[in-house]
Structure 1
């Protein structure tokens, strides 16, 4: 394929790239840059295009790869710049001072809600909470697997409704 044929084919299919660029970048200026870079790369690599293949798919692939590479490059640069001296306070490793009284009240509320569950729901829930698998709980309680799963589910629902969110 000659250079002029390729250029004509490229320009005839280039307009379909603009909406795709906007979809990828979510920004009109970045989309223009991506569109321009895609056309440049397509022209630079015209020898890699096989005549008769779908040029739109080839152009979309080039655009997507450029976008992904730029995105990865941007993330790498951000990580390198993130350790600057101006970011000192953000990266301090000081632990937060928690309010133990509030935490203790929340734990008491959770324990009370679990204690007040009906025994039919509390027993499978506590076994599940201790780390047993559904099938192990079913064998211990001599209940069908579906029954155990539904009881644990209903126990969770009851606990969610009984425990106030802060």
Structure 2
């Protein structure tokens, strides 16, 4: 097969590769880059193509392999090594540690707000906060299920208002 014939086959199959590239990358610019890299690799490895075989499948395989290799490369680049004596593996996307003093102050504020709720709302909300299910709270307080749900809802609403004011 001549170079001209091979290039013509590549060009006719480019339209089939564009949607596949976009499906893999979910980004138009990245899909264009992937398509360009696929065409480059196909041209560079022209001698590896067996004449008479399915060129579409060959191109799809090249594109998929490029995408997988790029994905793996990016995953490795997001991880750094800390060569301290303990040899920890660190991740860039690690969250920062919260300030415990600030969290304790907020917890005290929340507990105070719960304590100041009217008794009709405080009791069902406290039970719900402790892990009881709605139907269990209704049984313990001998109230209808809908009443318990609405009281807990209003308790949350009151707490949000009270805490946002502080």
How far 1:153 sits from its partner (Å)? 2.2
The whole-number CA distance in structure 1 between the counterparts of 2:19 and 2:117 is: 57
Instruction: Report what 1:135 is aligned to.
Output: 135
Instruction: Report what 1:120 is aligned to.
Output: 120
TM-score, structure 2 length as denominator? Answer: 0.58
The whole-number CA distance in structure 2 between the counterparts of 1:127 and 1:155 is: 12
Checking the alignment, whether the CA contact within 8 Å between 1:138 and 1:144 is kept in structure 2 is yes
Instruction: Report what 2:82 is aligned to.
Output: 83
- Is residue 2:75 matched to residue 1:71? no
Instruction: Report what 1:107 is aligned to.
Output: 107
Structure with the bigger RCO (C-alpha within 8 Å, sep 6+) is 1
- Is residue 2:136 matched to residue 1:144? no
Q: What value does the CA root-mean-square deviation take over the aligned residues?
A: 4.5
Checking the alignment, whether the CA contact within 8 Å between 1:35 and 1:63 is kept in structure 2 is yes
Kindly tell me the number of residue pairs found equivalent between the two proteins. 149
How far 1:114 sits from its partner (Å)? 0.7
Considering fraction of residues, name the structure with more helix. 1
The whole-number CA distance in structure 1 between the counterparts of 2:70 and 2:140 is: 56
Structure 2: unaligned runs, 5 residues or longer: 85-89, 91-95
Structure 1: unaligned runs, 5 residues or longer: 86-90
Q: What are the Cα deviations for residues 104-128 of structure 1, in whole angstroms up to 9, with x where unaligned? A: 5433321221122122221111001
